[in-house]
């Protein structure tokens, strides 16, 4: 399968690229300025997500678009750029009629009382994750394009060891230690197996290690 991965040079994006190659997918790795080693099955493209025509040309032959887009946590216009970039990615997905898998954050997941985690956050963290929360709120009832929204566990661990994990929808999951955590390699594998499965379109998926 040919996959277009946006935000390919970031923490999550690089792991998805690596796992995608292991799974023998053909990868178009899209980033602002990321550098990748030459590898069979991998094409690296520098592209601005705000440039609709360039993005369309880059993605026109892929089977599925995966967005791990993040304009940078230190970006003073983080929210504005995230929303603008994400909406442009959605626009391209619609115009090309390509399924879109979005990796957001845990803020849109619900606590056991049914309240979104976002409302329990405060300070800089709440400001940083507002974009992902608002984006899900905007698309959750949208059926004009094929989407899947993945909200990983609250903490993504930079571990390459594979562990057992559980999967759910809408509600924040916890492990046996009472923490909401997932290894980055397990998240990448999940995105490239269950995340791209047409059965999971229009679903809000999450996962946590056991």
197: domain CATH number is: 3.40.50.720
Task: Report the alpha-carbon distance of residue 27 to residue 32 in Å, rounded.
Answer: 16
Using CA atoms, how far residue 77 sits from 35, 81, 135, 149, 207, in Å, is 24, 6, 16, 23, 29
- The closest alpha carbon to 71, from 127, 10, 29, belongs to 10
Model pLDDT, residue 11 = 97
The residue segments making up the domain with residue 122 are 2-209
Model pLDDT, residue 30 = 99
Instruction: Tell me what the pLDDT averaged over the chain comes to.
Output: 97
Instruction: Report the number of distinct structural domains present in the chain.
Output: 1
Model pLDDT, residue 19 = 98
Over range 181-210, report the average pLDDT.
99
Model pLDDT, residue 199 = 98
Q: Percentage of the chain surpassing pLDDT 90? A: 100
Over range 109-136, report the average pLDDT.
96
Neighbour count for residue 187 (Cβ, 10 Å): 25
pLDDT tens-digit series, residues 62-84: 999 999 999 999 999 999 999 99
Model pLDDT, residue 60 = 98
Model pLDDT, residue 72 = 93
Model pLDDT, residue 158 = 98
In sequence order, the 6+-apart residues with CB closer than 8 A to the CB of 131 are 78, 79, 82, 83, 86
Model pLDDT, residue 200 = 98
pLDDT tens-digit series, residues 26-53: 999 999 999 999 999 999 999 999 999 9
- The closest alpha carbon to 190, from 166, 174, 170, 172, belongs to 166
Give 109's pLDDT tier (boundaries 50, 70, 90).
very high
Residue 163 burial by Cβ neighbours in a 10 Å radius (0-12, 13-18, 19+): middle
């Amino acid at each position: 399968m040919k996959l277009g991965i946006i935000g390919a040079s970031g923490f999550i994006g690089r792991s998805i690229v690596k796992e995608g190659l292991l799974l023998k997918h053909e990868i178009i790795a899209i980033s602002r300025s990321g550098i990748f080693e030459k590898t069979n099955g991998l094409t690296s493209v520098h592209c601005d997500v705000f440039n609709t025509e360039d993005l369309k040309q880059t993605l026109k032959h892929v089977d599925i678009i995966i967005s791990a887009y993040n304009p940078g946590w230190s970006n003073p216009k983080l929210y504005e750029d995230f929303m603008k970039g994400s909406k442009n990615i959605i626009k391209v997905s619609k115009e090309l009629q390509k399924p879109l898998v979005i990796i957001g954050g845990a803020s849109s997941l619900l606590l056991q009382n049914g309240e979104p985690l976002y409302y329990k956050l405060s300070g800089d963290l709440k400001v940083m994750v507002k974009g992902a929360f608002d984006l899900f709120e905007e698309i959750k009832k949208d059926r004009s394009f094929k989407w899947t929204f993945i909200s990983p566990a609250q903490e993504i661990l930079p571990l390459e060891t594979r562990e057992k994990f559980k999967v759910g929808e809408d509600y924040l999951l916890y492990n046996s230690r009472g923490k909401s955590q997932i290894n980055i390699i397990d998240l990448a594998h999940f995105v490239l197996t269950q995340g791209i499965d047409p059965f999971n379109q229009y679903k809000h998926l999450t996962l946590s290690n056991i």
